């Protein structure tokens, strides 16, 4: 791995830290990335499917998932995990991510104070898996002009001043996040910025140490020299010294260990980080600075002398032609005032030259010469997919099949009565539609739900009937008032014939027909009716189209199947309303002799 991040790098963000995510997306916009760096968010306690964030002056939706496994499945190209879990949870989150094969290349852990035993276990597991862990206790890393983690670099204004919006020439490795930002500013003033930077974290046991990152930077052609900011405590700087001596690192290295003031204290002193404490003479900042200087590393006389050394090394490399002039890229400005949108639309767009259905101009599906029908329009607007011809023709068959069932059914009756009261087509249609539910039209949803459940759980027909009896629910989609085995419903026969000739497979229908054999053995009108056939074949259609079982169950629960009945039956309801208007029928009053009156005198309460 020569480069830690590129402009195509995407991350899964664990914990919905909105401010940190927004800073990443603002950075993406400023540097002109084509795709957001945050592909998904893991928010275990959220019931939302997405969250909105600004993308410049506009907004985008970032999907939310309950688990890292689920997010990784949906976003296989997101190879960075940004673990913003608390120190109580961060270990488990990281270990779960490491168990996902071939997913994550880099994991950043921001939490401080993970127990050292767990930190060592986590870091070793990552090394065994070939995964680079940044942290714990870190603000992250950045590849200027490509990708940045969360809050590293600070505000957009500070990022631009520190030349972090585009790649420079230095590779920077520090422990401290605060000093990382300060050094970026120093490098921008005295050189041309950094090409890659990592704050490895302040805890005593971190995943990737100085040498890991510097050996990678040695291979990165954009990095021309390296800057290491170590600190009192630990011995990781000596690994860098050995790499320089052995020739593993050949690029110029500038280094300084902070904490030289510790020698003025009579006893050991603990600085800010958990690892910033010397337990032996060679762990002191003074000893490490001396050893680095003896190895040929550029070591300033003090931290205040660091800018001068950076400028000298940079100037030398520039004069030698190792570092070239950098062309400043265009910077996209973030609007000062941004307003969140109140509505979201993902199915159609009326901006531009022509309105579109799921990205397709209306003219491309509307007229007969396009070869498209109403089934194609439904597949675009309801499912945001282009269905194959057999599927769109099945949808159209369903709509035609349920368009009407005569004037006596509750919906048509309501629509006719309302029309005769002088109401408009819209008002009359609505009164008909309001009768659609569990007792009228809802059997399509129910049939899909219960037959799918039984089939998914490998129930025999007898077990399915016993289950429904125990639930106290009549089997939706089974039974007809008039039709029977001897007098079959030709609508059902037509649907079954279409499926047999056009569907790739009909496993749920095949199962339902075995259930029908059992129910009709009890009574011959307990047949699979038209509602049941439609609901069951819809599940078979979606399975054949490649939908996940969770998506199909969501369609069922959201009432999508019922929507086909609503759409089709609206055609019939409107027909009945127009029929009443055309016939100029008078106000309807129900005949009294068709009403059972059972009215007793009210009891008087004293």
Spatial separation of the C-alpha atoms in residues 436 and 442, rounded to whole Å? 7
117 contact partners, CB below 8 Å, separation of at least 6: none
Q: How far apart are the first and last CA of the chain?
A: 91
DSSP 463: H
Peptide bond before residue 136 is cis, with ω within 30 degrees of 0: yes
Query: How far from 394 is each of 213, 508, 540, CA to CA, in Å?
Result: 58, 16, 11
No. of helices (H) and no. of strands (E), the chain = 22, 16
* Catalytic residue from among 75, 165, 264, 273: 273
Spatial separation of the C-alpha atoms in residues 82 and 41, rounded to whole Å? 9
Supply φ then ψ for residue 423, to 5 degrees: -80, 165
Spatial separation of the C-alpha atoms in residues 524 and 516, rounded to whole Å? 9
The answer to whether 199 touches 110, Cβ cutoff 8 Å, is no
Helix (H) or strand (E) holding 198: strand 194-199
The answer to whether 22 touches 334, Cβ cutoff 8 Å, is no
Closest of 383, 223, 401, 233 to residue 314, by C-alpha: 223
- Give 298's strand partners: 254
Indicate if 273 belongs to the active site: yes
The 3-state DSSP class for residue 512 equals helix
Q: Where in the sequence numbering do the catalytic residues fall?
A: 273
């Amino acid at each position: 791995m020569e480069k830690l991040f590129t402009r195509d790098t995407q991350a899964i963000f664990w914990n919905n830290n909105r401010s940190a995510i927004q800073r990443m997306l603002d950075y993406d916009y400023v540097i002109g990335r084509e795709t957001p760096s945050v592909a998904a968010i893991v928010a275990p306690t959220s019931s939302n499917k997405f969250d909105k964030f600004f993308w410049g002056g506009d907004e985008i939706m970032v999907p939310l998932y309950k688990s890292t496994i689920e997010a990784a499945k949906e976003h296989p190209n997101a190879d960075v995990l940004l673990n913003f879990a608390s120190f109580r949870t961060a270990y488990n989150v990281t270990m779960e991510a490491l168990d996902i094969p071939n997913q994550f290349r880099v994991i950043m852990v921001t939490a401080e104070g993970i127990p050292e035993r767990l930190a060592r276990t986590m870091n070793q597991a990552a090394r065994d898996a070939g995964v680079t862990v940044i942290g714990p206790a870190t603000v992250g890393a950045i590849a200027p002009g490509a990708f940045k983690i969360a809050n590293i670099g600070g505000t957009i204004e500070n990022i631009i001043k520190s030349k972090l919006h585009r790649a420079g020439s230095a590779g920077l490795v520090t422990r401290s996040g605060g000093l990382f930002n300060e050094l970026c500013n120093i490098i921008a003033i005295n050189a041309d910025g950094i090409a890659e930077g990592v704050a490895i974290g302040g805890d005593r046991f971190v995943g990737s140490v100085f040498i890991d990152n510097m050996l990678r930077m040695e291979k990165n052609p954009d990095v021309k020299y390296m800057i290491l900011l170590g600190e009192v405590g630990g011995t990781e700087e000596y690994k860098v010294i050995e790499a320089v001596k052995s020739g593993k690192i050949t690029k110029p290295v500038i280094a300084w260990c902070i904490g030289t003031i510790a020698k003025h204290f009579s006893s050991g002193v603990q600085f800010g980080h958990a690892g910033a404490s010397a337990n032996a003479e060679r762990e002191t900042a003074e000893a490490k600075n001396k050893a680095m200087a003896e190895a040929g590393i550029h070591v300033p006389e003090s931290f205040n002398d660091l800018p001068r050394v950076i400028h000298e090394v940079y100037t030398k490399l520039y004069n030698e032609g190792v570092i070239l002039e950098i062309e400043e890229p265009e910077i996209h400005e973030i609007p000062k005032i941004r307003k969140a949108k109140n509505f979201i639309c993902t199915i159609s767009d009326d901006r531009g030259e022509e309105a579109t259905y799921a990205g397709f101009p209306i003219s491309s599906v509307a007229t007969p010469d396009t070869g498209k029908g109403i089934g194609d329009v439904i597949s675009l607007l309801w499912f945001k997919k282009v269905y194959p011809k057999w599927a769109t023709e099945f949808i159209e068959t369903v709509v035609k099949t349920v368009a009407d069932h005569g004037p006596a059914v509750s919906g048509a009756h309501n629509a006719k009565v309302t029309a005769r009261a002088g109401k408009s087509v819209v008002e009359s249609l609505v009164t008909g539609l309001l009768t659609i539910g569990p007792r009228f039209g809802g059997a399509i949803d129910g049939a899909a739900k219960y037959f799918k459940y039984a089939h998914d759980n490998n129930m025999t027909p007898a077990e399915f009937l016993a289950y429904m009896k125990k639930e106290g629910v009549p089997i939706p989609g089974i039974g007809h008032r008039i039709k029977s085995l001897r007098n079959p419903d030709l609508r059902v026969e037509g649907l079954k014939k279409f499926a047999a000739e056009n569907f790739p497979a009909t496993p749920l229908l095949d199962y339902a027909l075995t259930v029908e054999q059992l129910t009709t053995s009890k009574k011959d009108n307990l047949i699979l009716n038209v509602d049941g056939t439609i609901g069951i074949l819809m599940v078979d259609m979606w399975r054949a189209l490649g939908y996940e079982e969770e998506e199909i169950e969501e369609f069922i629960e959201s009432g999508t199947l019922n929507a086909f009945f609503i759409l089709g039956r609206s055609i019939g309801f409107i027909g009945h309303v127009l029929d009443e208007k055309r016939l100029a029928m008078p106000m309807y009053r129900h005949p009294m002799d068709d009403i059972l009156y059972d009215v007793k005198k009210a009891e008087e309460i004293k």
